Amino acid sequence: MEFTLYHNPRCKKSREALQFLEEKGIRFKTVKYLDQKLDPKALAAILSKINLKPSEILRKNELLWKKDFSSKNLNEDQILQLQVENPKLIERPIVTGPESGVLARPLENLVDFLKGN
């Protein structure tokens, strides 16, 4: 089974997930989602696999969110579109397989996910 790591190399937690997958010899491909932007359909598919809503993977501590959007009453579709347009608002790392996935923060989430796959 091959996995996909949605990765931000500047993020410590994301680097930890990458290192963990490499150390365990797990086959995966890396998507640097800040460079290879996701379209709404792709992000929705990822969310479906990890069984979370856009608001549940929203980085609410990002200055962009606090400054420009936190005071707005956005629905899930609007948050998803905002994340597509501003991928730094997507919590990371995310690891997906063919049918399921996990928000690998904390790393224990990834460990538990891999035990079941």
Per-residue pLDDT tens over the stretch 71-102 = 999 999 999 999 999 999 999 999 999 999 99
Average pLDDT over residues 25-29: 96
d(CA 87, CA 90): 5
Tokens of residue 8, six digits: 């931000």
Q: What is the pLDDT of residue 54?
A: 98
Q: What is the pLDDT of residue 22?
A: 97
Q: What is the pLDDT of residue 116?
A: 85
Q: What is the pLDDT of residue 71?
A: 95
51: left (phi over 0), alpha (psi -120 to 50) or beta: left
The answer to whether the beta carbons of residues 18 and 3 sit under 8 Å apart is no
Residues marked active site are found at: 11
Average pLDDT over residues 6-35: 97
Q: Look at residue 110 and tell me whether its pLDDT is greater than 80.
A: yes
Q: What pTM does this model have?
A: 0.94
Task: Enumerate domains of the chain plus CATH numbers.
Answer: 3-115 (3.40.30.10)
The answer to whether the beta carbons of residues 3 and 97 sit under 8 Å apart is yes
83 phi and psi angles, rounded to 5 deg: -70, -35
d(CA 31, CA 38): 10
Q: Look at residue 40 and tell me whether its pLDDT is greater than 80.
A: yes
